[in-house]
Amino acid sequence: MAKTQIISDLQSAIGKKWVLYAPEDLLVYEYDATIERGLPEAVVLPNSAEQVAASVRIARRHNVPVTARGAGTGLSGGAIPCEGGVVLVTSRLNRILEVDAENRIAVVEPGVINLDISRAVDPHGLYYAPDPSSQKVCTIGGNVAENSGGPHCLRYGMTTNHVLGLEIVTAEGEIVSLGGKTDTAGYDLTGIVVGSEGTLAIVTKVIVRLLHKPESTITILAIFDEVDEASQAASAMIAGGVLPAALEMMDKNTMEAVEPFINAGYPPDAGAVLLIEVEGLEEDAREQSEQVQAVCKELSAREIRIGLSPEDRERLWAGRKGALGALGRLTPSYYILDGVVPRTRLPEVLRGIYDACDRHGFRVANVFHAGDGNLHPNVMFDEREPGVTERVLKLGEEIMRLCVDADGSITGEHGVGSEKRSYMSWIFSEDDMTAMKRLKLAFSATDGFNPGKVFPTSKGCGEVSSRMKAAIAKVGPDAYV
């Protein structure tokens, strides 16, 4: 994009250095951790709420949308500028403004890395509970936008349960505070903005709740010959009254990718493992751990590893949390899905997923939060192969159908984004959608923030795939990389 009026306006608002518009620079803001693409027309990196507000006002004046972006590790295309416009990156808004250990609260800017909050409050024996797999790199702003989950959200709840208040910039470019350090009266506006996928506001400050680190944590690796047994065990455990802090499942294909990365001791020949963590007062944790082991034995776990050293525990978790990236060892591309089903239906839905992938001729790796029935099938493919992406998306739709038909939902924690907005009508009626749209209108009459997300529209993130197709057509699939 040439240096147009909007670029000069943005430059004078936040400084030349922090406005990108060279084509090569824009290129690296067209992706996130999904397979979607969308090129922005400009990228800005503001350093204060005032600069965010100024950028929003300028974009509004020029009638182009603004899409907020944290670290770009999202898994539903949330940071992809579907309709071009300005991408607003929060990486410079990365200050931890306040730690109030006595009241177990921290006030942070949106670009702060999730794990850095826990690191900063560690000396007080506190931590920030939601732990998405990308927590070493993802930002709290992105977590707020997508209402991110993570392995330990089974016991402690999602991002929304840990955000007490927000400072936001509205579509009009005003800075507004929602919620606060203590309970506030009136509507829970904070709760509405958390999980709104950047469509209602841009967050410039987050007040988060901190938790005391548990007295005792016991990590258990239960190894099963079959996925079926593992998923039954997950369901039975919770039905039996244990609520582990984390209850994760990894299948054979996932372990094949993870082991060469981390050598954590995941068994290569097992059908599935459950990585379980129980926490609490020492006695309580011990008791839960015994219950967990009993359930696993009953469902014919072939081995149960317990009493792991801190290093072993760290490696097992590094493997679990690096699993997605590790799939790159098996496949050039993968399509990560995010569906939810009632725990009791896990075995049948998983069987359905493996069947569907078989039928369509794709390999799949399942790694997910078994405890809350939040599935993540990863369909492996090679995007250089002509026409394959369409086939994969079709398979994805079928898998989502399986989830919804089992009384589930189309997203557990990654968000709707653009890819799943057409499925919204499967679970919401016209009236439901109208109600949501009216709520959105209450925030702004225009579609200025992250258009093309959440709600079904006729337009798509289309520019991208046509660009990729053109590239493939130009050089042929082999020369493509």
Partner 1 sequence: MPDTSPIPIVPSSSDLAQCVRCGLCLQSCPTYVQTGLETESPRGRLYLMKALAEGEIEPTANVIGHMDQCLQCRNCEAVCPSGVPFGRIMERTRAGILEGNSSPFSWRLRSLFLRHVIAQPKALSIFAAVFRLYGRTGLRTLVERIPGIGERALLAPTMEGRPFTKSGLLARPDGEVRQRVALLTGCIMPHAFGRVHRATVRVLARNGCEVEAPPDQVCCGALHAHNGDLNTAMDLARRNIDVFLGAGVDAVIVNSAGCGAAMKEYDELLAGDSEYRDAAKRFSTLVKDISEFLVDLPFKVPSGQVQATVTYQDSCHLAHAQRITSAPREILRSIASLTLVEMDRPDGCCGSAGVYSLTQPKMSIELLDEKMRAVSDTKASVIATSNPGCMSQLESGLRRHGAPGEVVHVVELLDRAYPDR
Q: Rule CB under 8 A: which residues touch partner 1?
A: 20, 22-25, 27-29, 31-33, 45, 71-73, 89, 91-92, 94, 111, 113, 134, 136-138, 258, 260-262, 322-329, 332-334, 382, 384, 471, 474-475, 478-481
Supply the minimum distance, in Å, between the C-beta of residue 293 and partner 1: 30
Least distance between partner 1 and beta carbon 44 (Å): 12
Would you say 152 and 130 are in contact if contact means Cβ atoms under 8 Å apart? yes
Which one, 58 or 89, has the nearer CB to partner 1?
A: 89
Positions of E strands within 35-162 = 42-44, 66-69, 86-89, 96-100, 105-108, 126-127
Nearest-approach distance from CB 352 to partner 1, in angstroms: 26
How near is the Cβ of 329 to partner 1 at its closest, in Å? Answer: 6
Q: Toward partner 1, which CB reaches closer, 56 or 472? A: 472
Shortest Å distance, C-beta 88 to partner 1: 12
- What is the signed CA dihedral for 201, 205, 207, 213, rounded to 10 degrees? 110
Question: Among residues 317 and 443, whose Cβ is nearest to partner 1?
Answer: 317
Nearer to partner 1, 82 or 285 (CB): 82
Q: Which is nearer to partner 1, 74 or 448 (CB)?
A: 74
How far is C-alpha 442 from the geometric centre of its chain's CA atoms?
Answer: 26
Q: Minimum distance from CB of 154 to partner 1 (Å)?
A: 22
Distance CA 394, CA 387 (A): 11
3-class DSSP state of 154: helix
Shortest Cβ distance from residue 279 to partner 1 (Å)? 25
Specify the pairing of strand 216-224 against strand 272-280: antiparallel
Which distant-in-sequence residues (6+ apart) come within 8 Å of 228 by Cβ? 347, 350, 351
Q: For the purposes of burial, counting CB atoms within 10 Å of the CB of 125, is it exposed (0-12), middle (13-18) or buried (19 or more)?
A: exposed
Task: Give me the numbers of helices (H) and strands (E) for the chain, helices first please.
Answer: 17, 20
As a whole number of Å, the end-to-end CA separation of the chain is 25
Alpha helices (runs of H) in 1-125, residue ranges in sequence order: 5-14, 23-27, 49-61, 114-121
Burial class (CB in 10 A: 0-12, 13-18, 19+), 431: exposed
* Of 24 and 269, CB closest to partner 1: 24
Q: How many CA atoms lie within 13 A of 250 on its CB side?
A: 32
Among the listed residues 97, 136, 52, 84, the one whose alpha carbon sits nearest the alpha carbon of residue 325 = 136
Cβ closest to partner 1, residue 31 vs residue 426: 31
What is the smallest separation between the CB atom of 297 and partner 1, expressed in angstroms?
32
Give whichever of 334 and 423 is closer to partner 1, judged by the CB atom: 334
